[in-house]
Structure 1
Amino acid sequence: MSKPSLHILLAAPRGFCAGVDRAIKIVELALERFGAPVYVRHEIVHNRHVVEELEGKGAVFVEELDEVPDDVPVVFSAHGVPKNIPAEADRRKLMYVDATCPLVSKVHREVEHHDRTGYHILMIGHAGHPEVIGTMGQVADGAITLIESEEDAETVQPKDPANLAYVTQTTLSVDDTAGIVEILTRRFPDIHGPRKEDICYATTNRQESVKAIAERCDRLLVIGAPNSSNSRRLVEVSEKQGVPSRLVQKAAEIDWEWLKGVTTIGITAGASAPEVLVQEVISALSEHYDVQLEEVETAREAVTFKIPAALRDSAA
């Protein structure tokens, strides 16, 4: 029997960003430099495939620093950590390497600057996300108020409305965040924002690529982890364009009933999802359909970040 035809629109850019590439490389270089085991506080990036590959090489993932023995190196994840974490590592004389994405570190510096300047900080982000926990942990408790929604932005009542600044999580919906910022700037005209937008280039580019293909799709698959903020935002962006979308971690999670009658499908991947998972999904689709593949490129990315000095000899 002949297979039904399926046109795949493959979004570009997709998948790994420079911060994720750097974080994974840091763990790999630490294993080369120090030997196994190397402990990693929290998932280095939000992707089980990546985590399991690194575990196979000798990385040990833990949630808190007190799970790390005294005589092994530890890596801090790409999402960033509160200041008390490296302080505790210093107290215990642990050898540690910070894999925080430089674009997250930029937000940390903004928060510290606003705090020193005497501003109360409003952080636009999602409660409980490691990046938000890390950013809010750069300053004393109470120095930052979390804003999760437009409703929060409309109702927040800061003690001194004339001395406010805002920052954002780097992996938010560009459109949703713009709406929140619009409310804050309307309510507090003197609020200080970042000189350069906090939402990172990779998040923005991946959302724009989804918008570019959505109008031509019957369905859209986002490859990424359920705890990956930027992957979940891609689903939301597609849904807002009127395209039914699903988040899958791997090909085995494809719902074939959901694809019945579909002639055109879009595929993208969150910034922490490796390309091998994209290709596995395409291969799985090819087993069920006569596939025509079209890559739709909306931007080119050439961003790279330096490896920490402690590992540069190994990188060379």
Structure 2
Amino acid sequence: MKNKDLKIYLAAPRGFCAGVDRAIEIVKKSINKFGSPVYVRHEIVHNKHVVENLKKIGAIFVEELSEIKDKTRPVIFSAHGVPKKVPKEAQDLKMEYIDATCPLVSKVHREAENLNKAGFHIFLIGHENHPEVVGTMGQIPEGSIELVETIDDVEDIDIPSNKKLAFVTQTTLSVDDTKDIIDALKKKFPQIKEPNKEDICYATTNRQAAVKKIASKCDMFFVIGSRNSSNSKRLVEVADKAGCNYSELIHSESSVPLEKISKCNSIGISSGASAPEILVQNFIEKIKENFNVEIQEVEIVKENVTFKVPGKLN
């Protein structure tokens, strides 16, 4: 196979977004400030490689605060955000907590709260049980926000016509699929209030646009990311819809599918917003060992967004 030429289209931007960078930085700075262990509620970001590296320096991951034996140690809330009851529980337990919720997710939380205060019934476009969705729905009283996952869900909505309606969305959705659901909501409820600024985050939008740009040129498309990463799974779907015949998620248990790649003349590579660049480079190195590789990086936009870590960690 080493004699075979292979062209790699490398999507840019790819990988870590500002919210992920900030969340990882918060864990590291918390360990520096408070010593170890520091507890983290839920995976700080959806990537096994990141989580394992943070465990090595003193982070302990739990799903609920009740699992934390030593309540004198600080706890960090993940980038996906948490329902209101979680900080309250931490306060009741007199625990020090640091919130690593991505600022763009916090923006959706505030939107939902403000809409609720203004008397709107809210639809949240998102995926059931995703921690971001659980967090957003947990900002306001039960019954005042309902989940919409598909166009069929829109058709099934039965709500009095005199109700004030609004929608918000999960930040890591497929831009195209979400547009179809929004169109269906607007058609059924012409008066529905939409967010002033789109909720899907800049990084999700940019990564999907970069994949779209190159997918049709590729015999196969690979997205480096975790199986529980919403934005990574959406990139695989985007590559499929944009004209690549075969797209695949490469996660921590995946081996490099050299046999499949040997049948290709060109492949595309991107990575989800919680996947470190080292995983992309390792994947490419493995391919280079077996093929004559030419890499073309296709960058659609330069990202220069950064988010500050909480002041108390500086």
Segments of 4+ in structure 1 off by > 6 A?
none
TM-score (norm 1): 0.97
Asked if structure 1 preserves the Cα contact closer than 8 Å seen for 2:2 and 2:290, the reply is: no
CA distance in 2, matches of 1:209, 1:250: 23
Alignment of 1:35-184 (within 5 A): 35-68=35-68, 69-160=70-161, 162-184=163-185
Question: Who is 1:13 aligned against?
Answer: 13
The residue number in structure 2 matching 1:262 is 264
Q: 1:269-310, CA deviations, whole angstroms, 9 ceiling, x for partnerless residues? A: 000000000000000000110000110000110001111121
CA distance in 1, matches of 2:277, 2:304: 17
Alignment match, 2:196 = 195
In structure 1, distance between residues paired with 2:65 and 2:82: 11
| Local SS of the residue matching 1:112 | helix
Q: CA deviation at 1:241?
A: 1.7
- Amino acid corresponding to residue 4 of structure 2 in structure 1: P
Cα-to-partner distance string for 1:8-30 (whole Å, 9 max, x where unaligned)? 00000000000000000000000
Which 5+ residue runs of structure 1 have no aligned equivalent?
A: none
TM norm structure 2: 0.97
Percent identical: 56
Amino acid at match of 1:37: P
Equivalence for 2:242? 241
Map 1:15-30 → 2, pairs under 5 A: 15-30=15-30
- Deviation of 1:2 after TM superposition, in Å, equals 4.6
Q: How many residues align?
A: 312
C-alpha separation between the residues in 1 aligned to 2:81 and 2:120?
A: 22
Residues 288 and 70 of structure 1: CA distance in aligned 2, closer, same or farther (over 3 Å): same
Letter in 2 for 1:121: I
Cα 1:28–1:179 change in 2 (3 A) is same
Q: CA deviation at 1:259?
A: 1.9
Of residues 284-293 and 247-256 in structure 1, the stretch that sits farther from structure 2 once superposed is 247-256
Q: Residue 135 of structure 1: SS of its match in structure 2?
A: helix
2:309 is aligned, of 304, 307, 310, to 307
Preserved CA contact (<8 Å) 1:250 1:277: no
Other-structure match for 1:288: 290
Q: What is the identity, as a one-letter code, of the residue corresponding to 2:115? A: H
Distance 1:282 1:161 in 2: 56
Residues 18-73 of structure 1 deviation map (CA, whole Å, 9 limit, x = unaligned)? 00000000000000000000000000000000000000000000000111231100
* 235-244 or 105-114, larger mean C-alpha shift: 235-244
Judge conservation of contact 1:10–1:293 (CA < 8 Å) in 2: yes
Per-residue deviation, 1:252: 5.1
SS at 2:51's partner residue? helix
1:202 aligned partner, one-letter code: A
Q: How many angstroms does 1:154 deviate by?
A: 1.9
CA contact (8 A) 2:43 2:61 kept: yes
Please give the root-mean-square deviation of Cα atoms over the aligned residues, in Å.
1.2
Higher mean C-alpha displacement, 235-244 vs 130-139: 235-244
Structure 1 stretch displaced more, 156-165 or 124-133: 156-165
Separation in structure 2 between the aligned mates of residue 99 and residue 35 of structure 1, nearest angstrom: 18
Give yes or no for contact 2:225–2:274 (8 Å, CA) kept in 1.
yes
Amino acid at match of 2:300: T
Match of 1:288, SS state, is coil
In structure 2, stretches of 5+ residues that fail to align are none
